[in-house]
Amino acid sequence: MTGIEAFVRGLPKTDLHMHIEGSIEPELMLELAARNGVTLRWDTPEALRGAYRFENLQSFLDLYFEGCKVLVTERDFRDVTRAYLRRAHEDGVVRAELFIGPQSFTERGIPIEALMSGVLAAMEDARGAHGMSVGLMISVHRHRTEPDAFAVLNQVMPWKDDIIGIGMGGAEVGNPPSKFARFFRAARERGFRTAVHAGEEGPASYVREALDLLHVDRIDHGNACLADPDLVRELAIRRVPLTVCPLSNLRLKVVPSLEEHPLKAMMAHGLHVTVNSDDPPYFGGYVTENLLACREALGLSRDAIVRLVRNGLEAAFVTEEERQALLLRLDAYVRMPVDG
């Protein structure tokens, strides 16, 4: 391992855009399928990994939702969440903010209590075992209706104090943020921070709608904003965080190659970009692999990597006191002498 690789791996970093149901490693997916009597199309981890060849976001979502079927009991949700947090801790993640979309499970009759209890128990385990800071984001599906989203919001209210924010993901094209304007207003009125996937496969106008109509605190992805110079200036001035997922963009063919990823251009425009893992097993890397791959493909300097990590800490949905403590931890790490 080179000195710079060791440096990047050791950085106290965030992962602010990661889906719990998209974090199931193939071995665990097959184990859960056997546990719950669920039949999958793949018999071995190698066969499942071989299916991770996607043409676009929808082709990924088809496999993603099939994988969701192995999550049935409270224990399943706890095991999957705990496995990701254990791996994230090894990756140097000090603050993880995790999405989960209850609709994939409640539509199959799985009690919302099983999902929430399992995920929250795993988060508490990670806090105790690793000293990690962990937050839970509830995500709704944009291909469903706004009344469906309101139903989720009402379902999770008993756990309001355990949820840091409300987000929205799923098939973007044809499902603009404006479709959910009343839902996001209600989420804000109930005290939640908000985020929305926009500008991944959708146009820059979707990012504009997220800002002007949904008034979200963060944009998940946001790549397409570069097509609108006025939007770029506004995002930069307002320091709206963009949770970029480079390896996800590569695997879903949002970009033809990592060398052509807009991350470096976004940084040059002064955008508040962060690097995240999205659905790490499916896309070939956790947050450190994303940072290292971008460093190599885009020629990012050590200072640029530190800037991206600092952006993540500044964008996290934490108290200002916790943020300052995490930033001090980063500063102390950066000052340490590094070989290589």
Per-residue pLDDT of the chain (340 residues; tens, 9 = 90+): 688 999 999 999 999 999 999 999 999 999 999 999 999 999 999 999 999 999 898 889 899 999 999 999 999 999 999 999 999 999 999 999 999 999 999 999 999 999 999 999 999 999 999 999 999 999 999 999 999 999 999 999 999 999 999 999 999 999 999 999 999 999 999 999 999 999 999 999 999 999 999 999 999 999 999 999 999 999 999 999 999 999 999 999 999 999 999 999 999 999 999 999 999 999 999 999 999 999 999 999 999 999 999 999 999 999 999 999 999 999 999 998 755 4
Task: Specify if 330 maps to a domain.
Answer: yes
Residue 166: domain span: 3-25+92-107+134-335
Task: Pick the closest to residue 278 from 125, 76, 98, 139 (CA basis).
Answer: 98
Residue 45's CB is within 10 A of a number of other CB atoms, namely 16
* CA terminus-to-terminus distance, the chain: 10
Asked if 172 is an active-site residue, the reply is no
Q: Which of 200, 201, 209, 289 is catalytic?
A: 200
**Contact of 283 with 211, CB cutoff 8 Å:** no
Tell whether 126 is covered by a domain: no
- Is 32 among the domain residues? no
Residue 113 domain-assigned (yes or no): no
- Is residue 79 within 8 A of residue 32, CB to CB? The reply is yes
Tokens standing for residue 264? 């470096």
CATH number at residue 226: 3.20.20.140
Q: How far apart are CA 100 and CA 257, in angstroms?
A: 29
- Judge whether 87 lies within some domain: no
- Assess contact for 93 and 23: CB atoms under 8 A: no
Q: How far apart are CA 277 and CA 290, in angstroms?
A: 7
Residue 53 lies in a domain: no
Question: How many separate domains does the chain show?
Answer: 1
Round to whole Å and give the CA distance between 44 and 58. Answer: 24
The reply to whether 98 falls in a domain is yes
Amino acid at 55: E
Residue 38 lies in a domain: no
Element (H, E) at 189: helix 181-189
> What is the 3-state composition of the chain as percent helix, strand, coil, each rounded to the nearest 5?
60, 15, 30
Residues 6+ apart with CB under 8 A from 265: 226
